[in-house]
Structure 1
Amino acid sequence: IEKSVANDIYNTMAKFGEYGFNKSHSAAYTELAYQTAWLKANYPAEYMAAVLGHNLTDLKKVTFFINECKRMGIDVLGPDVNESLLNFSVNKDDKIRFGLAALKNVGESAAQSIVDEREANGPFTDINDFFVRNNFRNVNKRALESLAIAGCFDNLNTHRAQFFYKESDDVAFLEKMIKHASSVQEKKNSQQTSLFGDSDNIVFPQIEMPDCERWNLDETLSKELEVAGFYISGHPLNEFSAEIAHFCTHNINDLNEKLEDEAIGTDVIFAGVVKDLQDRFDKNNNKFTAFTLFDFTGEITMRIFRDDVEKFRNKLENGEKLLIYAKATAGNFGRDVETRELKIQNIYKIAGCFDSNILSLKYFINPNEIDVDNVNSIADIADKNQGNIAIKFSIVNDEGFELIKLSNSFLRLNLDGTIKLADLDIVNSYDVKSLITNNTISFKPKTDNGIQTEETEEVVNELQLEE
Structure 2
Amino acid sequence: LHPDLAPILDETYGVIVYQEQVMQSAQTLAGYSLGGADLLRRAMGKKKPEEMAKQRAIFLEGAHKNGLVADQAGAIFDLMEKFAEYGFNKSHSAAYALVSYQTAYLKAHYPQFFMAAVLTADMDHTDKVVAMLAECTRMGLRIVPPSVQQGVLEFRPEGDGDIRFGLGAIKGLGRAAIQAILDARREGPFLNLFDLLCRVDTQKINRRALEALIRAGAMDDWGVSRASLIASVDSCIEAAAQFQSNRASQQESLFSGQEALPVAPPPVLAEAWSLTETLRQERETLGFYLSGHPMASLRDDLAALGTVPLGDICSGTTVLVAGLVVARRSTRTKRGDRIYFLTLDDGRGRLEVVIFAEVWAQAGKVGEGEEPVLVLGEVGEDSYSGGLRLSALRVLDTARAREELATQLTLELEIAAELAPQDLLAVLRKYPGQTALRLRLRVGADIVAQLRVAESLSFAASPAAIAALMALAPTARWRWDYRSTTSLVNNVVPLERARYGARRPA
Which of residues 92, 95, 112 in structure 1 aligns to 2:179?
112
Q: How far apart are the structure 1 equivalents of 2:337 and 2:28?
A: 58
Q: How far apart are the structure 1 equivalents of 2:439 and 2:135?
A: 34
Q: Please state how far the C-alpha of 1:221 moved relative to its aligned partner.
A: 2.9
Q: How does 1:23-34 map to 2 (within 5 A)?
A: 26=94, 28-34=95-101
1:148–1:163: 8 Å Cα contact kept in structure 2?
Answer: yes
Which of residues 135, 138, 148 in structure 1 aligns to 2:201?
135
Distance 1:297 1:248, change over 3 A: farther
Q: How far apart are the structure 1 equivalents of 2:367 and 2:390?
A: 23
Distance 1:276 1:6, change over 3 A: closer
Distance 1:115 1:382, change over 3 A: farther
Larger radius of gyration between Structure 1 and Structure 2: 2
Q: How far apart are the structure 2 equivalents of 1:415 and 1:281?
A: 50
Calculate the TM-score normalised by the size of structure 2. Answer: 0.58
Which of residues 114, 119, 125 in structure 2 aligns to 1:52?
119
Is it true that 1:348 corresponds to 2:394 in the alignment?
no
Map of 1:214 onto structure 2: 272
Distance 1:354 1:158, change over 3 A: farther
User: How many residues of Structure 1 are paired with residues of Structure 2 in the alignment?
Assistant: 362
Which of residues 195, 214, 217 in structure 2 aligns to 1:151?
217
2:351–2:390: 8 Å Cα contact kept in structure 1?
Answer: no
Calculate the TM-score normalised by the size of structure 1. Answer: 0.62
Q: How far apart are the structure 2 equivalents of 1:181 and 1:21?
A: 63
Q: How far apart are the structure 2 equivalents of 1:31 and 1:438?
A: 46
Listed as ranges, the gaps of 5+ residues in structure 1 are 166-172, 263-267, 330-338, 363-380, 393-406, 420-430, 440-467
1:86–1:100: 8 Å Cα contact kept in structure 2?
Answer: yes
Is it true that 1:7 corresponds to 2:29 in the alignment?
yes
Q: Which amino acid aligns with 2:281?
A: K
Is it true that 1:303 corresponds to 2:355 in the alignment?
yes
Q: How far apart are the structure 2 equivalents of 1:117 and 1:55?
A: 27
Q: How far apart are the structure 2 equivalents of 1:141 and 1:195?
A: 31
Map of 1:64 onto structure 2: 131
Map of 2:286 onto structure 1: 228
User: How many percent of aligned residue pairs carry the same amino acid?
Assistant: 28
Q: How far apart are the structure 2 equivalents of 1:140 and 1:307?
A: 45
Q: Please state how far the C-alpha of 1:177 moved relative to its aligned partner.
A: 1.6
Q: How far apart are the structure 2 equivalents of 1:208 and 1:108?
A: 30
Q: How far apart are the structure 2 equivalents of 1:199 and 1:358?
A: 76
| 1:209-246 deviations in Å (ceiling 9; x for gaps) | 32222233333333323332333223332222233344
Which of residues 220, 227, 233 in structure 2 aligns to 1:174?
233
Q: Which amino acid aligns with 1:80?
A: S
Question: 1 or 2, which has the higher strand percentage?
Answer: 1
Q: How far apart are the structure 2 equivalents of 1:327 and 1:43?
A: 38
Q: Which amino acid aligns with 1:102?
A: A
| 1:411-461 deviations in Å (ceiling 9; x for gaps) | 999998869xxxxxxxxxxx744899589xxxxxxxxxxxxxxxxxxxxxx
Q: How far apart are the structure 1 equivalents of 2:227 and 2:219?
A: 11
Distance 1:290 1:415, change over 3 A: farther
Q: How far apart are the structure 2 equivalents of 1:64 and 1:415?
A: 38
1:79–1:150: 8 Å Cα contact kept in structure 2?
Answer: yes
Q: How far apart are the structure 1 equivalents of 2:438 and 2:126?
A: 39
Distance 1:151 1:93, change over 3 A: same
Q: Please state how far the C-alpha of 1:5 moved relative to its aligned partner.
A: 7.5
Q: How far apart are the structure 1 equivalents of 2:287 and 2:236?
A: 27
2:353–2:392: 8 Å Cα contact kept in structure 1?
Answer: no
2:241 counterpart SS class: helix
Q: Which amino acid aligns with 1:138?
A: K
Q: Please state how far the C-alpha of 1:282 moved relative to its aligned partner.
A: 8.0
1:360–1:433: 8 Å Cα contact kept in structure 2?
Answer: no
2:252–2:258: 8 Å Cα contact kept in structure 1?
Answer: no
Distance 1:231 1:438, change over 3 A: closer
Q: Which amino acid aligns with 2:206?
A: N
Q: Please state how far the C-alpha of 1:390 moved relative to its aligned partner.
A: 5.8
Map of 2:299 onto structure 1: 241
Distance 1:298 1:242, change over 3 A: same
Q: How far apart are the structure 1 equivalents of 2:166 and 2:248?
A: 31
Which of residues 209, 222, 227 in structure 2 aligns to 1:161?
227
Is it true that 1:183 corresponds to 2:234 in the alignment?
no
Higher normalized contact order (CA 8 Å, seq sep 6+, divided by chain length): 1
Q: Which amino acid aligns with 1:294?
A: D
| 1:370-396 deviations in Å (ceiling 9; x for gaps) | xxxxxxxxxxx999xx9x98699xxxx
Distance 1:43 1:341, change over 3 A: closer
Map of 1:86 onto structure 2: 153
1:82 counterpart SS class: coil
Is it true that 1:312 corresponds to 2:363 in the alignment?
yes
Is it true that 1:205 corresponds to 2:246 in the alignment?
no
